[in-house]
């Protein structure tokens, strides 16, 4: 399925969620944003950036795709049943300062997006929008073709979903770079060179190509029995 995203839902209204909402609203998307509790406390802030504060249920009901921009350690609070069948863009990373010490979220055998996919059974999870810091996202958005435009990597298993997320990334002001299947999203996590990358498409592709030979890449391959993932 590669239907264009018109209404974008975002779960998590903090630093990342707010910047993504701003970029998507500026690009002409209808944007609905939820936090864990009632939407009223964020209503004015969201209206100011052209988005609408909503409940999580309303976001899921009305959006064509949902971005996860909440602390990764809380992913099991998401309503998995309601998200079945949906395109879900996982922008979350493990960060011990926010998530606590969670060896399950730092296990080289599994990317965190695969854990999210396993929990959100039946959803179509794509990893994107999580390797660049929120301030860089805010500062670096540029129209397609602009010199020095920066890139965002995308990992996912379905070609149509990769295409839909690529369009979103492009509309938000970044060149989309396909990293590979969802399992390859581990190349975008903390500990990998591309985590934090604020670089153009050529440099981002080069970082992804270097992953296999990097220290983290070797650890991941060993933990996975010698093969990074099916290509
Ligand atoms: N900050 C960055 O530069 C950056 C960049 C890339 C990726 N990320 C990733 O994006 C995620 C959010 O980071 P952040 O820096 O934006 O954090 P943040 O500023 O602390 O914001 C987190 C947001 O998530 C909401 N939230 C918390 N628990 C929730 C739940 N169970 N259900 C729904 N919403 C919930 C919080 O609102 P309430 O507590 O009011 O519900 C808050 O709006 C993290 O996984 C992080 O690794 C961050």
- Residue 4's pLDDT is 87
> What are the pLDDT digits (tens) for 24-46?
999 999 999 999 999 999 999 99
3-state secondary structure 117-182: HHHCCCCEEEEECCCCCHHHHHHHCCCCCCCCCCEEEEEECCHHHHHHHHHHHHHHCCEEEEEECH
- Residue 42's pLDDT is 98
CA-closest residue to ligand 1 atom 30: 36
Asked if residue 35 has its Cβ within 6 Å of ligand 1, the reply is yes
For residues 66 and 59, the answer to whether their CB atoms sit within 8 Å is yes
**What DSSP assignment string belongs to 213-225?**
GSHHHHHHHHHTT
- Compute the Cα dihedral for 115, 227, 162, 191 and give only its sign: positive
CATH number for region 7-223 = 3.40.50.720
**How crowded is residue 200: how many other Cβ atoms within 10 Å of its Cβ?**
16
Asked if residue 113 has its Cβ within 6 Å of ligand 1, the reply is no
Instruction: Report whether pLDDT(1) > 60.
Output: no
> What are the pLDDT digits (tens) for 162-198?
999 999 999 999 999 999 999 999 999 999 999 999 9
93 alpha carbon to ligand 1 midpoint, in Å?
A: 10
User: Cα–Cα distance between 171 and 22 in angstroms, integer?
Assistant: 12
Q: From the CA of 93, give the closest atom in ligand 1.
A: 47
Q: From the CA of 135, give the closest atom in ligand 1.
A: 3
- Residue 3's pLDDT is 79
User: Cα–Cα distance between 209 and 89 in angstroms, integer?
Assistant: 23
User: Cα–Cα distance between 184 and 153 in angstroms, integer?
Assistant: 10
> What are the pLDDT digits (tens) for 79-110?
999 999 999 999 999 999 999 999 999 999 99
What lies within 8 Å, CB to CB, of 48 at 6+ separation is none
19 alpha carbon to ligand 1 midpoint, in Å?
A: 11
Strand 65-68's sheet: what is its strand order?
52-53, 30-34, 7-11, 65-68, 87-90, 124-128, 151-156, 175-180
180 alpha carbon to ligand 1 midpoint, in Å?
A: 25
CA-closest residue to ligand 1 atom 18: 14
- Residue 108's pLDDT is 95
Asked if residue 12 has its Cβ within 6 Å of ligand 1, the reply is yes
Domain edges within the chain: 7-223
For the record, the structure tokens of 178 come out as: 């396909």
């Amino acid at each position: 399925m590669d239907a264009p995203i018109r209404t974008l839902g975002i779960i998590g209204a903090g630093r990342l969620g707010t910047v993504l909402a701003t970029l998507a609203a500026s690009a002409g998307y209808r944007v609905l944003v939820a936090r864990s509790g009632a939407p009223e406390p964020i209503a004015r802030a969201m209206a100011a950036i052209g988005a609408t504060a909503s409940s999580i249920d309303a976001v899921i009901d009305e959006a064509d795709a949902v971005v996860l921009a909440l602390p990764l350690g809380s992913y099991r609070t998401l309503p998995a049943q309601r998200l079945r069948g949906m395109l879900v863009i996982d922008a979350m990373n493990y960060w011990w300062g926010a998530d606590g010490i969670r060896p399950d979220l730092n296990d080289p055998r599994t990317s965190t997006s695969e854990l999210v996919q396993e929990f959100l059974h039946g959803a179509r999870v794509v990893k994107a929008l999580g390797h660049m810091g929120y301030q860089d996202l805010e500062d670096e958005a540029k129209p397609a073709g602009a010199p020095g435009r920066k890139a965002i990597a995308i990992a996912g298993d379905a070609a149509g979903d990769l295409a839909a997320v690529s369009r979103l990334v492009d509309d938000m002001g970044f060149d989309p770079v396909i990293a590979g299947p969802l399992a390859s999203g581990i190349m975008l996590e903390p500990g990998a060179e591309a985590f934090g990358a604020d670089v153009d498409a050529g440099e981002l592709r080069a970082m992804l190509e270097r992953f296999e030979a990097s220290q983290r890449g070797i650890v991941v391959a060993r933990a996975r029995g010698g093969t990074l993932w099916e290509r």
